[in-house]
Amino acid sequence: MFGGLRLAPHKEAADAPMRRIEAVESLQVSMLQHSGRPARPVVQVGDRVRRGDLLGAAADVRSAPVHAPIDAVVEAIVEQPSWLPSADAILHVHLRRTDSAGAPRCLAPLGECTDAEALRERVREAGIVGLGGAGFPTADKLGGDRSVLILNGVECEPHIACDDRLLREDARAVLGGGRWLARICGAQQVLIAVEDSMHAAIDALRAVLADFPGITLRVVPDRYPQGGERQLIATLCGVEVPADGLPRDVGILVANVATAAATHAAIERGEPLTRRWVSVSGDAVAAPGVFEVPIGLPVAELVAAAGGYTADAVHLLLGGSMMGTALPDDAAPIGKLHNAVTVLRARAGSTAPALPCIRCGACADACPVRLLPQQLHAFSRAEDDGRLQAQGLFACIECGCCDPVCPSGIPLTAQFRQAKQRIQLEAVQRVQADTARQRHELRQQRLLETEALRAERREARRQQVTDPIQAALARARAKAAGEREPPA
Ligand code: SF4
Ligand code: SF4
């Protein structure tokens, strides 16, 4: 991998066994827990649901259904913040636990003889999305043939440790799911990738790999952001995915290990995706750990399960310490693509004002996408959108590698994120303005046509009125002329 950083791993959360959170009283289940269009609620306030029942139906193939994580009654369906860059507010179904209504609602397990399209349909029905953080609906991602499948266990971002723990505790589910994913996409070669620092996970995989012929373990250097799809493909396959392309364009599928485990559960046990593993970590949380939680659990309850905040807690992030989203409070619910909650103390120097760029080039050396962050910085300050885009702004993966190496302390990543949002917002506003202008022009055209039609009708009516008068006058004139003529 080009560039990147070697960071302190802070994987304390992986040291203790996973803890399962069951006893929850209420959940807030978002209809948008994936990239693409939100799911459409199919329940109403007052409905009783069983765990596994459908709460929201997929809006289209780029969407994903959402299922109830507990036996509950629907208390409310309200709009609230999504905590995703793609949407500000989104519908959430609020559930309040009821007495058990019996066994969870599952789909029928599928067997070895099931064809690839039926398996893919199962992945869609179960609401499986990429659990590594990107949240692409997995069934959509599985479309088209691939030659290589990479199971991504490279959890390179500091503080995130749920995949590490999953591999230690349930490597069989990951490898079993990987086998199903390979069947669906037709991959001949299956690799499972982990970092060289994940010793316990490597041992757990080696202990069961013999039962999964055709799957090869590959250990990659512990360097951030080695777990990015493009970086991993370059390291393992020596192939560069084009900046404007996708891994499918080079015949490769990358799936997170938790996605593989969820696929295994959906196919072999018929379980829809209603729970996920989340790490709670950072230097300002009392007892870091990995938890299996129902989707929709508020962050506050998750942090409480990890012993709560320390007195000096300042930063609360949904995600890891490099790419996580800062939260204003802990009311946000966990969604399918949230793999971590990180709580940190104040960071030294984080409030110092930025100094001018000295063009040292350290940011370019650290950028894994081979961008020139100093150029992007200059163009974003000038709001020169044309040159920003020409310099590859939208290829920036917001990994944050350019920030800690900058001697001037310039918050480069935040600048690039804001520039992208501004350009995207302006593009949306332009489309809206164009649509409004077209609607106005069409209305004007309709008004003109209506007016012309009315004028035509008025003229026709006038003709109908005046013509008999003209005819009567003509007859009178003819008659008068006849009377004046002498008899022959
Ligand atoms: S690291 Fe900072 S100071 Fe150096 S070139 Fe990049 S933006 Fe400028
Ligand atoms: S945040 Fe963007 S510009 Fe900075 S190192 Fe990462 S990819 Fe490069």
* Ligand 2 atom 4: residue of nearest CA: 402
The span from the CA of 345 to the CA of 430, in Å, is 42
Asked if residue 453 has its Cβ within 6 Å of ligand 1, the reply is: no
Q: What is the pTM of this model?
A: 0.86
User: Among residues 298, 304, 301, 340, which one has the least CA distance to residue 323?
Assistant: 340
4 CA distance to ligand 1 middle (Å): 15
Question: What's the whole-number mean pLDDT along residues 431-438?
Answer: 91
76/41 Cα distance (integer angstroms) = 11
360 lines ligand 1 (CB under 6 A): yes
Judged against a pLDDT cut of 60, whether residue 137 lies above it is answered with yes
Average pLDDT over residues 57-80: 96
Instruction: Compute CA distances 277 → 23, 164, 252, 327, whole Å.
Output: 16, 11, 26, 20
Mean pLDDT of all residues in 414-440: 91
Cis amide leading into 225 (omega within 30): yes
Of the three residues 405, 424, 443, the one that is the final residue of a domain is 424
Number of domains in the chain: 2
448, part of any domain? no
> Is a pLDDT exceeding 70 seen at residue 485?
no
Kindly report the protein residue whose alpha carbon is nearest to atom 3 of ligand 2.
Answer: 373
Pocket of ligand 2 (CB under 6 A): 366-367, 369, 371, 373, 396-402, 412-413, 416
What does the pLDDT read at residue 350? 60
Residue with tokens 């302390």: 409
121 and 255 inside one domain? yes
Q: Is residue 272 part of a domain?
A: yes
126, 139 Cβ separation under 8 angstroms: no
Range of the domain at 269: 12-23+109-305
Query: Which residue has a Cα nearest atom 8 of ligand 1?
Result: 357
Query: How far does the centroid of ligand 1 lie from the alpha carbon of residue 140, in Å?
Result: 40
One domain for residues 175 and 283? yes
Nearest to 42 by CA among 101, 118, 127, 103: 127
| Closest ligand to the CA of 362 | 1
Q: Report the residue among 223, 230, 363, 367 best suited for mutation to probe ligand 2: largest number of ligand atoms under 8 A from its CB.
A: 367
Same domain, 267 and 403: no
pLDDT band at 488 (very low <50, low <70, confident <90, very high): very low
The residue among 289, 305, 321 that closes a domain is 305
Residues 238 and 366 in one domain: no
What separation in Å is there between the alpha carbon of 430 and the centre of ligand 2? 27
State percent of the chain over pLDDT 70. Answer: 97
**Which of 256, 283, 305 is the endpoint of a domain?**
305
Query: Could you tell me if 290 and 376 lie in one domain?
Result: no
Q: Is residue 190 within 6 Å of ligand 1 at its C-beta?
A: no
Residues 369 and 274 both lie in one domain: no
Q: How far apart (Å, rounded) are the C-alpha atoms in residues 135 and 152?
A: 14
Report the pLDDT value the prediction gives residue 484, as an integer from 0 to 100: 61
Is residue 146 a part of any domain in this protein?
yes
